[in-house]
Copies of this chain bind each other. A is one copy, B any other.
Amino acid sequence: METALSALGQRTAPPAISWLMKTALSRPKLISLAAGFTDNASLPVDISRQLLNGILRSPKTGQPALQYGTTAGEPQLRELTAAHLQQLDGGSDRAHSAERVLITGGSQQLLYMTLEALCDEGDIVIVEDPTYFVFLSILQSRGIRARGVKLTRDGLDLVQLEKILTQLKNSGELRRVKALYLVTYFQNPTGVTTSFAKKRAALRLLKKFERAAGHPLYLIEDAAYRELRFDGGVDVPTALTLPGARHRVIYAGTYSKPFATGARVGFGILPEPVYTAVLRIKGNHDFGTANLLQALLTRALASGDYDQQVAKAQKNYARKARVMKQALAKHFPACVEIWESGGGLYFWARLPAGISCGVNSEIFRAALKHDVLYVPGELCYAADTARRAPDNELRISFGSASETNLREGVKRLGAVLRKFLK
Assembled-state Cα–Cα distance A13/B276 (Å): 10
Stretch at the interface among A53-61, A182-190, A350-358, A376-384: A53-61
The answer, yes or no, to whether A94 is at the interface (CB within 8 Å) is: no
A40 proximity list for chain B (CB < 8 A): 59, 63-64, 67
The answer, yes or no, to whether A287 is at the interface (CB within 8 Å) is: yes
Assembled-state Cα–Cα distance A14/B62 (Å): 30
The answer, yes or no, to whether A112 is at the interface (CB within 8 Å) is: yes
> Restricting to A263-292, which residues have a CB under 8 Å from any CB of B?
263-264, 273-274, 277, 280-281, 283-287, 289-292
Assembled-state Cα–Cα distance A41/B60 (Å): 10
Contact of A260 among B12, B52, B66, B211 (CB under 8 A): B66
Assembled-state Cα–Cα distance A106/B291 (Å): 12
The answer, yes or no, to whether A339 is at the interface (CB within 8 Å) is: no
A13 proximity list for chain B (CB < 8 A): 280
The answer, yes or no, to whether A6 is at the interface (CB within 8 Å) is: yes
> Restricting to A377-399, which residues have a CB under 8 Å from any CB of B?
none
- A9-B118, A64-B262, A105-B286 known, 11 other contacts, Cβ within 8 Å: A1-B211, A6-B178, A9-B281, A38-B68, A43-B63, A48-B56, A48-B62, A137-B284, A141-B284, A262-B292, A262-B295
29 contacts between A and B (CB under 8 A): A2-B215, A4-B216, A4-B217, A6-B116, A6-B117, A6-B123, A8-B117, A9-B118, A12-B280, A17-B283, A17-B287, A18-B283, A40-B67, A43-B67, A44-B66, A45-B59, A45-B62, A48-B66, A49-B52, A52-B53, A53-B53, A64-B262, A66-B261, A66-B262, A66-B263, A68-B262, A105-B290, A109-B286, A134-B284
